[in-house]
Chains A and B, each alone.
Chain A
Amino acid sequence: MELAQQLVNGLTLGSLYALIAVGYTVVYGIIQLINFAHGEIFMVGAFGALSTALLFFRSYVDGGEMLPFWALPVLIVGAVAASVAIAVLMERIAYRPLRNAPRLAPLITAIGISVFLQEAVRLLYGKIPSFPDAKQKVPFPQIEVVSGPAFNLGGVTLQRSTIFTVGALVICAAGLFYFVSRTKTGRAMQAVSQDPDTARLMGINVDRIIVVAFVIGATLAAVAGIAQGLQVTNINFKMGFLAGLKAFTAAVLGGIGNVWGAVIGGLTLGLVEALAVQFIPGTFGGSPWKDVWAFALLILVLVFRPQGLLGAKVVDRA
């Protein structure tokens, strides 16, 4: 029973990591950039959903009521819009001018953007008329069906947010599979990641494909932002830091640049964390140590399989 419970917990956590990890990996696959500000795109998605709730469902929020179920797609649209807008601006303003700069330059820029976005939300969110202050955590709106009492399946607690998170990953992964392998733009994306110059000779606008990669990553991160809000019932300006770091770990674990690697890496990391909490006895067990085990797993994989679980064997990867 404990095992089943931890598997459920691990799957929930892992799905969240996987949704975020895809963003690291698609961008890396195209421009070999580790977008360390991707965690903040996830955070902005959560705040985008909250803002949408405040703008369109204010009476429910103020009355402490659950939002109707049909508010969920509206919140998703709001979250995705916010994340995508930030991601596209980030690419345009910060990364594109550095396209031919030494690799360290965009990396440091990414860290700068990350801090900038956290501080912007912390300091400015509450300045928007009628919006709550975001210097500390802010309650995330509850929504009918996806919020509320958990189910009990023969002793295993199944949170509604778990169903949302895992379901979101399944739908996003299926959509992504279809997009990458069956559409013209998806094929162009694969071409750019394999050989950008030759892709140009085919008539592919590489700049446009790079934007598409950022948009895909931001969309999934926004969905993850809502999932996190539903799971924890509150959000805060620094939620992107640890989640981003874990998701990046997941992407490397799975083989950075490989979309399915990100999904597998996310799920693996989530499961390892959950199982470590429960089954490692003594001082090194329990939740205080779960991050240690997560990163220990990363180090192990990097030592014995540097290309990641699904990554191709190439010399210059990470």
Chain B
Amino acid sequence: MSAMLEVKDLVVSYGKIKAVKGISFTVDQGEVVSLIGTNGAGKTTTLRTISGLLRPVSGSIVFDGRDLTKVAPHEIVSLGLAHSPEGRRIFPKLSVEENLLLGAFSRKDKGIREDLAAAFELFPILEERRAQPAGTFSGGEQQMLAMGRAMMSRPKMLMLDEPSMGLSPLMMKRIMTTVTTLQQQGTTILLVEQNAQAALRRATKGYVLEVGSIVLSGTGKELLASDDVRKAYLGED
């Protein structure tokens, strides 16, 4: 296994407020790595910095051998790194199919139609509603669309920011099963979640983020068993 993503001593701030205070972590090829933490821990900030939407104060982000801190945000997806953002952020006035095609915007190869078919296979509802404006979708449907859209870039690695947010237990299960499916199909995954139980169960590795710092790391199983995690994130005492 080689490191696909290596984040080192990453510091990110909003003006004077430091949101990420020097975190380091790695994601190896084929893994599902979970980044968990409570509200305001800095999870979204970390993902947005990896995607180039925010620039770090210091530290490095190396993806597939390239330093992302010097790459323009719109060029990052074509390196093989897709990001399904927090709150899904589908394009509400565009149709489901147009949203999916935008996911493949950076590609110039001929396989886009095939991947559209693959996205429809993953989530059949997207095919049934392909012409519907995406803004009229329910939360769960929007999440499926956001994941399908991210997969349309044929990424080596997919970053998911709270895919289970606001979903029913059934839909959450559905999304988490898809995460495993995608992993089995060869996509490396960085999963940000507040739902620690679901995220850690599927994770090969996990990191716990607290007010901008990583306070705990280990395999998914280790973290699930750890007293600290059980107390803080699983509501046990």
Contact = CB atoms under 8 A, between A and B. Distances in A.
A204 B105 CA distance: 7
A203 B81 CA distance: 10
Nearest to B99: A191
Given A184-B105, A201-B83, A190 B93 contact: yes
A195 B91 contact: yes
Given A198-B85, A203-B74, A190 B94 contact: yes
A135 to B, nearest CB: 46
A201 B94 contact: no
Interface string B41-74: 0000000000111000000000000000000111
A188 B105 contact: yes
Contact of B102 (A191, A197, A206): A191
Contacts of B164: none
B47 to A, nearest CB: 10
Contacts of B83: 201
Given A187-B101, A201-B51, A205-B72, A195 B89 contact: yes
Contacts of A190: 91, 93-94, 98
A187 B99 CA distance: 9
B94 A202 contact: no
A203 B78 contact: yes
A184 B149 CA distance: 15
Contacts of B53: 197, 200-201
B93 A194 contact: yes
A266 B105 CA distance: 34
Interface string A114-146: 000000000000000000000000000000000
Contact of A203 (B75, B93, B98): B75
Contacts of B91: 190-191, 194-195, 198
Using C-beta atoms within 8 Å of the partner chain, give the interface range for chain B: 20 to 34
A188 B102 CA distance: 7
Contact of A201 (B85, B98, B101): B85
Interface residues of A, number: 17
Contacts of A187: 94, 98, 101-102
A205 B72 CA distance: 9
A202 B145 CA distance: 14
Contact of B77 (A188, A194, A203): A203
A199 B103 CA distance: 9
A198 B153 CA distance: 14
A198 to B, nearest CB: 4
A199 to B, nearest CB: 8
B106 interface: yes
B39 to A, nearest CB: 20
B92 interface: yes
Nearest to A312: B93
A187 to B, nearest CB: 6
B102 A202 contact: yes
A145 B20 CA distance: 68
Contacts of A199: 102
A197 B52 CA distance: 10
Contacts of A188: 102, 105
B79 to A, nearest CB: 10
A201 B73 contact: yes
Contacts of A191: 91, 94, 102
Given A187-B98, A194-B94, A197-B53, A203 B89 contact: no
Contacts of B105: 184, 188, 202-204
A190 B90 CA distance: 12
User: Which of A190, A200, A202, A205 counts the most B-chain CB atoms under 10 A from its CB?
Assistant: A202
A312 B225 CA distance: 51
B143 to A, nearest CB: 14
Contacts of B103: 202
Nearest to B81: A201
Interface string B149-160: 100010000000
Contacts of A194: 91-94
Nearest to A197: B53
Interface string A14-36: 00000000000000000000000
A213 B77 CA distance: 23
Contacts of B89: 195, 197-198
Contacts of A198: 85, 89, 91
Contacts of B73: 200-201
Contact of A205 (B74, B92, B93, B102): B74
A20 B85 CA distance: 37
Interface string B91-135: 111100010011101100000000000000000000000000000
A199 B99 CA distance: 10
13 contacts: A184-B105, A187-B98, A190-B93, A191-B94, A194-B93, A201-B82, A201-B85, A202-B74, A202-B106, A203-B74, A203-B76, A203-B105, A203-B106
Given A197-B85, A202-B103, A203-B153, 13 more contacts: A187-B101, A188-B105, A190-B98, A200-B52, A201-B53, A201-B82, A202-B102, A202-B149, A202-B153, A203-B74, A203-B105, A203-B106, A204-B74
